[in-house]
Structure 1
Amino acid sequence: MAPSVEAEPVSSYDRNKDTYRGPSKVKFDPAIHLNYTPPERVYSLSELGLPLEGTSDFATTEPFQLATEAAIVELRRELLQPNTLKKRMHTWPRAPASLRGFTKEEAPFTHAFWTSPEVIKILSDAAGIEMEVALPYEIGHTNVQLGPEGREGLKNLPLYPVPVPPGWEEEKGDYDHLPVDNWHKDSFAYSCVMMLSNTEKMVGGETAIQLPDGTTRKLRGTKMGSCIFLQGRHMPHAALRAWNTGERITMVCPYRPAHPAIRDDTEITNSLQQSYLNELYGQFSLERFKVIRKKCDYMIKRLEDQKREALEREPDNYNAVIMDEKEVGNMMREMVWYLETAMKQMGMYKDDK
C-alpha cells in the first residue's frame, strides 16, 4: 500500500521569512512531503474509446493529491531560482514558456521527489505496472502560464502561491489567447502532471484529454500538490489556460515501464526543440544503453533457465527445445527498432543528414 500522510498546515510555513531561491537545502522526506490520496477513478484506453497502442490499457487517473505544501515550496524554490530562469527557460511554437533540463546540482529536491521509491510506487499502482523515470533531463519539466509581464514576470512569483485577493482584476496580456501547452502527444509513455499553483479561485487551468468522438475530458485537482498520471504518448492532451489567478504552473515527470520485457516508447521528438542538444543526446544515449543492457540480462537469464529446464526434462535429448523462438525474435526486433529510433532522432543515419 502506498504511503498516506496528512499535509502540513499552512501555518507551519512562514512565507514572510523565506526568501532564498536556489538549490533546496531540504532533504526529501515522504512523511513530510507526501500527502497521497488515491485517485477516485482510473480510466483505461479501451473505455475511453482510444486505440490500444500503448504498453498497457491504462489511460489516465482522476486528479489525486500527492504533495504537501512543504514539498511545493521546495519545488518552486528550485524552479524560480535566478539560474533556472536565466538558463533553463525555453519557448517554442507549442508553448510560450517551459522550464526544463534541471541537473541534480541545480534541483536536488526536484530530483529526489520524482525519483523517490514512494512516488514511483504510487504511480506504478495507478498504472498497474512497475514504473521507472524515463529520462533524467526531463525530470521536473514545467509549463508556465505567462501573464501581462511575460517571461520577466516569473521572477516576481512568490515561493508560496496564494489565491488572488478580493477585487483583483485580470490584466490583459500578449499570451491570453494561447494555451499553456497546445494539443500534443508526449514523447514519453507515461507522465505525472502536478499543480504547483494555488487553485482556490482558479477558473480553468485543466489538463484536457481529447477523445475520439471529438469531445474533451478536463482534469484538474482541487488544490496545489494534486496531479494526474496519464499514458500521454498515446493520448492527445493539452494544458489549458487558467483565469482568475496570478499564475498557472504545472510540473511534469515522465516514466517508462520498468520490466525489460515491456516496450519502452520513449523518444525525444518534442525535446529536440527545447533542449541543450549535447546534454540531451548524452543522457538519451545512456538511458538507451541501460535499457538494452537490462533487456540483454533478462534474455540471458531466460535462455539459461530454458536450457537448464530442457536438460532436466529430457537429459538424453541433445536436440531438446532450449528457447522460445518467438520470444527471442520479438525481443531482437524490438532492440533493433529501439536503437534505430534513437539513431534517427539524433541524426545518425546518413539519410537523415
Structure 2
Amino acid sequence: MATPDLLRSIHNNRIDKLILESVYNNNLKSIYDKVIEKSGTKAVETKFDPYKHLKYYADEKEKEKFHSTRRLSMEDLRRSHPDQITEIGVTDPFPLFTDEAISLMRYSYRSTSGLDAGLRGYVKNMDTINCPFIHSAWNHPLTIDLISKMADVELEIIYDYETAVVNISMKSEEQAAEERIKFAREQSLSGVSNGEDIPAVVGWHYDSPPLVCVLMLSDTTNMIGGETCLRKGLREGETTEEVIPVPGPSRGNACVLQGRFIEHIAPKPLGSSERMTMVTSFRPKNPLTVETSVLSTVKPEINWGSRYSDYYAEWIDYRSEIIKKRLDHLNSTIRARRADHKFDKEAVMDNLKEISKYLSKTYEEMEVTDEEWEQIIQNNNRK
C-alpha cells in the first residue's frame, strides 16, 4: 500500500507530467507570433469557425480526400469483439483542421518538466472554459459529425477531461540514439521483431475509452516514421501477433482508432525535433449502446497527469448520466407496454441486470489493485 505522504500528494491533485516553460517558449511561441503577424489579431480572441478551420469545409479538395480515406475494419485487423462500438478499427489519416486552426491550438495551452509529456484536463474545469478555441473546435457539431462519419457511428466526447489531451515528445539530437530508433523500427516492421523493441512516445497499450481521434499538431515534413503501429490478432496456429504500421498523419490531419480493443504504440520519429499529438476520446452518443470504458491507463493514482478530484468527479458524472438515460428509457418502455396491459418481466430483469453491471463497473474501475500500487510506489521512488 502507498505511504501516507504519497496518498496525500495524489489526493491533493498531484500532477507530474508537465513540460518546462522554456520548452514552450522555444517550440510554441514562434508559432503564435506567426499567427499574429498573418492575421493581425490575438490568437486567444479568435473564435472557431467550422467553415474556416475545418479542412472539409474550407477546401473542396480536402473534402474529396476525406471521402476517399481508407478504413480498416475490426475484422481486417482480426480484432472483432462483441462489445465493439463500430465495425471500423482504424482509419488512415484524414483532413480535419486547417493550418491556422492548428497554430491556434498550439498556442492555446501552456505547459510546465521533461521532454516527453502529457497534458490533460486543461481545456475546461467544471464550468470554466480555459481554452475557448480548442473547446469549440472539438465540441462543434460539424467537427463531431466528421469524426462520426469516419468512425461509422454517431459519437460524442466522453467527458471534458478527455478533450484534446496532448502527448509531446521532443527528441534528443544525439545521432547514436537516432540510429538505435531507426534500427529498432526497421526490425519491428520487417517482421523480425514482435514490436517490444520500438522506442515510443507512448508504449504498447489499449486505450481506456471506446474510441479516440488522434490529431497531428507537428510539422511532419522532415519526420521519418511517426506512424502508429498496431498488433493484429492471431490466426489459427500463429504464436506471434503481426505488427503493422498505419500511416502517420501530417499536420492538421487525424486518425480514428477503436483503441479499446486494439493494442497499439506511438513510435518516436526520426528527423524531427518534436512529435506532438492531440487526442480526444469519444463514446457512442446512443446511451443504450454497449459502452466499455475503463480507467486502466488514466486513473489519477497511475497517470499523474490527471488531477485526482477533477478526474474522478467527471468519471462519476458521465457514468451517472448514462445510467439515468438507461433508466429513463426502461421506464418509458414499461409505460408504453402498460397502456396495452403488457409487462415483459424477463426483459425488464435483464435490462436492470445490465444497468446494475454498468453501475458496479463504475466503482470497480476506481479501485487500485495491489499490483498497481506496487508499480505506483516503484515509479514514485524513481523520481
From 261, 273, 283, the counterpart of 1:256: 283
Query: Which digits, 9 at most, give the CA deviation of each residue in 1:6-53, with x for residues without a partner?
Result: xxxxxxx94473899x98322111011101323522222122211324
Are residues 1:106 and 2:130 paired? Answer: yes
TM-score of the pair, normalised by structure 1: 0.76
> Hey, what's the Cα distance between the residues in 2 that align with 1:170 and 1:38?
41
Q: Which residue of 1 is the match for residue 261 of structure 2? A: 234
Q: Residues 18 and 204 (structure 1 numbering): CA distance in 2 closer, same or farther, change over 3 Å?
A: same
Q: Residues 141 and 23 from structure 1, CA distance in 2 versus in 1: closer, same or farther, beyond 3 angstroms?
A: farther
Do the aligned partners of residues 325 and 58 (structure 1) sit closer, same or farther apart at CA in structure 2, a change above 3 Å counting? farther
Determine the structure 1 residue equivalent to 2:24: none
Provide the residue aligned with 1:24 in structure 2. 44
Deviation at 1:271, TM superposition (A): 1.1
* CA displacement at 1:219 relative to structure 2: 2.0
2:328 and 2:176 map into 1 onto residues whose CA distance is 57
Instruction: For 2:350 and 2:222, locate their aligned partners in 1 and report how far apart those are by CA, in whole Å.
Output: 52
Partner Cα distance (1:110, 1:16) in 2: 17
Q: Tell me which residue corresponds to 2:8.
A: none
1:269 pairs with one of 277, 284, 296: 296
Partner of 2:229: 208
Is contact 2:225–2:269 with CA below 8 Å preserved after alignment?
A: yes
Are 2:68 and 1:59 aligned?
A: no
Distance in 2 of aligned mates of 1:222 and 1:253:
15
Q: Does 1:285 align with 2:316?
A: yes
CA 1:190–1:39 in structure 2 vs 1: closer, same or farther (change >3 Å)?
A: farther
Report the equivalent of 1:138: 162
Does the alignment pair 1:188 with 2:219?
A: no
Q: 1:333 offset after TM fit, Å?
A: 2.0
Q: Larger relative contact order (C-alpha < 8 A, sep ≥ 6)?
A: 2
The answer to whether the Cα contact below 8 Å between 1:201 and 1:245 also exists between their aligned partners in 2 is yes
1:68 Cα shift?
Answer: 0.3
Identical-residue share of aligned pairs (%) = 28
Higher fraction of helix: 2
Change (3 A) 1:252 1:296: same
- Between the two proteins, the alignment pairs up a number of residues equal to 297
The structure-2 alpha-carbon separation of the partners of 1:23 and 1:345, relative to structure 1 and needing over 3 Å to count, comes to farther
CA contact (8 A) 1:200 1:222 kept: no
In structure 2, the residue corresponding to 1:110 is in which secondary structure?
A: helix
1:243 alignment partner in structure 2: 270
Match of 2:59 in 1: none
* C-alpha contact 2:93 2:253 (8 A) present in aligned 1: yes
Please name the residue that 1:78 is paired with. Answer: 108
Q: Deviations over 1:58-113 (max 9, x none)?
A: 2111211111001101111123x2xxx12xx7x8xxx9421111132322222211
1:47 paired residue number: 76
Q: Match of 1:300?
A: 331
- Decide whether the 8 Å contact of 2:227 with 2:249 is kept in 1: no
Using a 3 Å threshold, how does the CA distance of structure 1 residues 23 and 189 change in structure 2: closer, same or farther? farther
1:243, distance to aligned residue in structure 2 (A): 0.9
How far does residue 216 in structure 1 lie from its aligned partner after superposition? 2.3
Q: Distance in 1 between matches of 2:287 and 2:327?
A: 9
- The answer for the alignment partner of 1:338 in structure 2 is 358
- How far apart in 2 are the matches of 1:17 and 1:125? 36
Deviations 1:155-197 (A, max 9, x none): xxxxxxxxxxxxxx76566996730101100000010001111
Q: Would the aligned equivalents of 2:226 and 2:248 in 1 still touch at CA under 8 Å? A: no
Question: In structure 1, how many angstroms separate the alpha carbons of the residues matched to 2:271 and 2:246?
Answer: 18
Partner of 2:346 in structure 1? Answer: 325
What is the deviation of 1:242?
0.8
